[in-house]
Structure 1
Amino acid sequence: MANASLQGAQCSVLGIETSCDETGVAIYQGGRGIVAERLHTQAAMHARYGGVVPELASRDHIRRLLPLVREILDHAGLMQPDAVAYTAGPGLIGALHVGASVGRSLAFGWGVPTVGVHHLEGHLLAPMLEPEPPDFPFIALLVSGGHTLLVDVADVGRYALLGESLDDAAGEAFDKTAKLLGLPYPGGAALAALAQQGDGQRFRFPRPMTDRPGLDFSFSGLKTFAMNTLREAGEADIGADVARAFEDAVVDTLLIKCRRALAQTGRRRLVVAGGVSANRRLREGLAAMVDDQGGSVFFPRPEYCTDNGAMIAYAGWRRLVAGQSDDLEIRAMPRWPLASLVG
């Protein structure tokens, strides 16, 4: 990265998020926070196919991105921002290229610095946008449709990976199980709603990889267990009970692993981010667990759990005021290990 910082921490940064199926834009200004933001979700478009279609996602980002940028600049009363941040990875390569190309081009045309942001760093720092943000250091659970990670966070850019999913991410397992239950895409929230009607005592699913040491996860087997339960029960009206058993298994597994991570590192603060962090039962369970241990837990507001431009604008601002910026290269990396980042 080039050493070209913003001139003053009060500067404004345009954030662009296009890693998958949300087109998110926002402006973060030092000392004020998020001054404008917009989000377009493609969920309805992909629902007819039962999942994200990468080519359609890329084309929709192309249609939506510049009008959304114009809209938030008008709302913020700016002719142009002081810098641009865009999601450089990980994600769908075509979708990433849209945001990267537009972000880099806008920055070049405006003559302002730009930085490619790691998507997971954006999620990890999203709770910093709340009125009571966490202090460093902390343990972060990043749990979404594409990723499930436990990270020891010493400071911005100082990340040590403690554990990750060896197969399906938790959110991916939610969506696949929801599809088995005939729920619409995206299925995570629909499954959680159905689980509220279920009998938590009827079925008990395994808590994967909790009977052995370590902090890695595995969720693909829970989908198979749900499929076998539905087949073997042979009853029509058990969907809510299966949904409840599945959700309980995922939540318990995440709680057990978070408890281990806090004990292993001696940290007292837990940050939970990503789409699955909006799950009510997970929030309640983690809050109770951390409180019992005399610690603190921090969540982003629900609209910042899913992909959004605000987290990219903020993460980019942190990088830029620290003196980091990119050269003219358009960066789009579908695979980008979080631990490879530097402060």
Structure 2
Amino acid sequence: MGLDSKPLSTLRGKSSFKLEDFPVPNGREEMWRFTPLSRLRGLHDGTAPVAGNVVIHVDAAPEVSVETVGREDPRVGRAYTPTDRVSVQAFTSFEKATVITVPKEAVTSRATVINVRGEGGGAAYGHIVIAVEPLAEAVIVLDHQGSAVYADNVEFVVGDGATLKVVSLQDWADDAVHVSQHHAHLGRDATFKSFVVTMGGDLVRLSPSVSYTGRGGDADLSGLYFVDAGQHIEHRLLVDHTVPDCRSNVDYRGALQGDEAHAVWIGDVIIRVEATGTDTYELNRNLILTDGARADSVPNLEILTGEVAGAGHASASGRMDDEHIFYLQARGIPYDEARRLVIRGYFAQLIAKIEVEEIRDRVLAAVEAELAR
């Protein structure tokens, strides 16, 4: 398992299972230039003491099987090869992986919830594989809580004609550090819908990516984040269109408040020569609520064929629209309530996409708590 032999795009670097193939980052590299390396607590250079404790508990739907396996299991690493130093460090350091399987043609009766609970200490590493076999349908919730210095990789393998809906909550304690790769590997006519909510943690860097193996694959990636004073929240997305007639849609929205609140969003979409008929769009919006907050938003679209159904991107970062506030105040609504209504409306379209009611209510409550600060 060495360096990936596929031709490299300008947006996609090398991939490898070998730690020595990735030099320790110094912060000048493109993929690390926004990340404050000193706050990773050694996850990037191997100095983090492996003394942390992260407990994984799965509340599985009755149709789903759950296994704990070693790294020698052939399902581990089959769909994803690490693409950066922390990702390969996690792959070479985890002790046991959690494998969740949804059998062929099964339709799960309820969501499967994976609780990832940090209990403090030094660094910890993990690996999760979620395999949805052909024509099956499932909903998965990844719920991260507690205190941790944690790096992991999550593989989503979606079989031909299968549908997987994932909600990932980063609801960590204020001192937590989490660096994670989420990779979805889509079969022919497969559907993958991801919703990421990032609220907690001192530093969270989440990298969702998608690859396709057959025509008709459909990926919808949505995200919501609320960044408070001193927090660093980073989302780095990659959608690699390598086969014809596939679709992707990305919509991430964030709000920032407080001194040195920092959000980073990188959206990379590649349409390769053979990926004719691709239809893709990516959007990122950032609402800056106070002075001292900063949002970096970088959409990138690399098109290597002229035969596409559609391709575009947009990014916007700015203050709240004073006209919206004025409109509400003119109708007797106090300023603070008007402000909350505008921000609720900004997130409402996204939150409505969360199909698990209790999770949707929890996200709404978390947004309200942020607005009350």
Question: Structure 2 length as normaliser, TM-score?
Answer: 0.26
Q: Which has the higher helix share?
A: 1
Q: Which has the higher strand share?
A: 2
Bigger relative contact order, structure 1 or 2 (CA pairs below 8 A, ≥6 apart): 1
